[in-house]
Structure 1
Amino acid sequence: SQTCQQMHEIFTVAIGASLMPSESTPAPARPPNKFEKLFQPCLAEVVGTTFFVFIGCVSVIENVESAGRLQPALVHGLAVAVMVACMAEISGSHFNPPFTLAIYLCGGMEMNMVAPYIASQLVGGVLGAAMAKVSRENFAKAHGAAFALLQPGSEIGGAVFGEVAMTCLVTMVVLLGAVNTKTRSPLVPFMVGCTVVINILAGGDVSGTCLNPARAFGPAIVSNYWGYHWVYWVGPTTGGLIAAALVRNSTVTLL
């Protein structure tokens, strides 16, 4: 159909949509083998998510009251930007299940890689939280990383909505900055990192600003803290799906 043809022209199709696009990609000397197509991207997702969660947890543990939300906001944003730039050409630098789902729905990766990517991200989340626990004796303070902000009596509906809205925003930045060939930019690592900083500064008191189920899952496993954990799956996943729908429909309409 005409709509399908339009979508094919707009979105790149690859194993993992890169979050650091380039103007031209030289043709490979040989087709990638199975190891390069399947194992390497998943390993990159594990490594990237591991260090992102580790750095995020440590930033919460070491956060001082005078810094408020600024320190964890800058740490998370810079960590995202660096890891995206480093791993983009290997896996696409997703590190987040809602990103993977949205990129797939926008034609940026093959369906058979969705489940392995998400599994790799969850494994990375657990490894990163475990590293933080080993490195710091006062890991209990990393319940901020496990998002203990929400307690009985909290405005759970507002927290869910905040996660939906903020994840939708950062996912749209990913899709428009990296996947959509009409709008993608080489500045996407900086763009995504800045969006993470903005979201944490704006919504830290609303929900803790998770935006990433893998970021919540790892610390929840390691600290065995599951209070309102579902919020950090339902909110970000819904936000990612909404972003995918908005980008697909708005881009096709604007042709």
Structure 2
Amino acid sequence: MASEFKKKAFWRAIIAEFLAMTIFVFISIGSALGVNFPVLETNTTSRTQDIVKVSLAFGLSIATMAQSVGHISGAHLNPAVTLGCLLSCQISILKAVMYITVQCLGAVVATAILSGITSGLQNNSLGLNGLSDGISAGQGLGVEIIVTFQLVLCVVAVTDKRRTDISGSIPLAIGLSVALGHLVAIDYTGCGMNPARSFGSAVIARNFSHHWIFWVGPMIGGAAAAIIYDFILAPRTSDFTDRIKVWTRGADEYQLDGDDSARVEMKPK
């Protein structure tokens, strides 16, 4: 881990993840905070924003950031995605911890900026996630697990270097997966498939009611997606010792070699 910590590429990736997360949260949450915002000049309020607009803002902003910094940090922008990539041996434990830390920090910074911009908005929840009427904690947890599962499954599948059949835009595919999750989950939980984004709103709004759901659900969904893809759908031939090396030394020290049977083995470069 020490060798990875000293690399400039490591710190560039950390900075990229922080900046991209800040921009993503600002754009996506900002798209939802215009709900009934007062127009002082005419003493009226704007029309209520719709779910499609918010879902597209989340999806397109993720796609844009993935296209912008994906080559630097991988543009995880979500602790659940980072956990999935860790379990599929795409990053080290050190990088995963640093990514999740700066993702949360970026979300807090962006939400704080939005709090200042929308200070005149009454009952401003700052995009705080919560359970809708009639939805229990268990039901909300289930929703978060499912929508995050499909997102992380999409991420690990489209970023699988063994694949040669992908001809479209990978960032767009991930962005559409994010938009799809929001279209499904907003009515139930506000869609907390991104724990860092939920954390930013909870910190600035000082409201952690049912906040555990938006960490446990996405992390379970992300972990399950990575494990099922890596061990069942597209298994690798590497043993546990090789995985430990990636987790401790970083993916830059190892590469994945494939064969005609689509099974791969991790080998030192």
Same fold (TM > 0.5): yes
- Superposed, 1:16-35 pairs within 5 Å as 34-35=6-7
- Counterpart position of 2:62: 80
Q: Deviation per CA, 1:207-245, whole angstroms, max 9, x where unpaired? A: 211211101001111110111111100100000000011
Q: Size of the alignment, in residue pairs?
A: 224
Structure 2 counterparts to residues 123-202 of structure 1, below 5 A: 123-138=105-120, 142-143=124-125, 145-150=127-132, 154-182=135-163, 185=166, 187-202=169-184
After alignment, is 166-175 or 132-141 more displaced?
A: 132-141
Structure 2 residue ranges without an equivalent (≥5): 37-46, 237-261, 264-269
Kept in 2: contact 1:97–1:213 (CA 8 A): yes
- Would you say 1:217 and 2:199 are equivalent positions? yes
The higher radius of gyration belongs to 2
Deviation at residue 69 of structure 1 after TM alignment: 0.6
TM-score by length of 1: 0.80
- CA-to-aligned-CA distance 1:84-140 (integer Å, 9 cap, x gap): 100111111011111111101111112221111111111111111111112112456
Q: Distance in 2 between matches of 1:86 and 1:227?
A: 34
What SS is found at the alignment partner of 1:89? helix
- Other-structure match for 1:116: 98
Instruction: Return the match for 2:223 from 224, 229, 241.
Output: 241
Task: Report if aligned partners of 2:128, 2:198 keep a CA contact under 8 Å in 1.
Answer: yes
Give the CA deviation at 1:141: 5.1
- Is residue 235 of structure 2 the alignment partner of residue 252 of structure 1? yes
RMSD of Structure 2 on Structure 1 (CA): 2.4
TM-fit CA distance, 1:148: 3.4
Q: Give the distance between the partners of 2:97 and 2:162, measured in 1 at CA.
A: 25
* TM-aligned CA distance change 1:141 to 1:49, over 3 Å: farther
Partner of 1:43: 15
Bigger RCO (CA 8 Å, 6+ sep)? 1
User: Are residues 140 and 164 of structure 1, via their aligned partners in 2, closer, same or farther at CA, if it must alter by over 3 Å?
Assistant: farther
Say which SS state the counterpart of residue 61 (structure 1) adopts: coil
Gaps of 5+ in 1: 1-14, 16-31
Structure with the higher strand share, 1 or 2: 2
- Letter paired with 2:6: K
SS in 2 for 1:60: coil
**Structure 2 CA distance, aligned partners of 1:190 and 1:248?**
23
Show the counterpart of 1:89: 71
Counterpart amino acid of residue 16 in structure 2: A
* Amino acid in structure 2 at the alignment position of 1:49: M
Cα pair 1:76 1:196 within 8 Å, conserved: yes
Matched to 1:34, the amino acid is K
**Other structure's SS at 2:32 match:** helix
Counterpart Cα distance in 2 of 1:63 and 1:74: 16
The one-letter amino acid paired with 1:97 is P
Task: Assess if the C-alpha contact under 8 Å between 2:34 and 2:49 holds in 1.
Answer: no
SS in 1 for 2:71: coil
Letter matched to residue 155 of structure 1: S
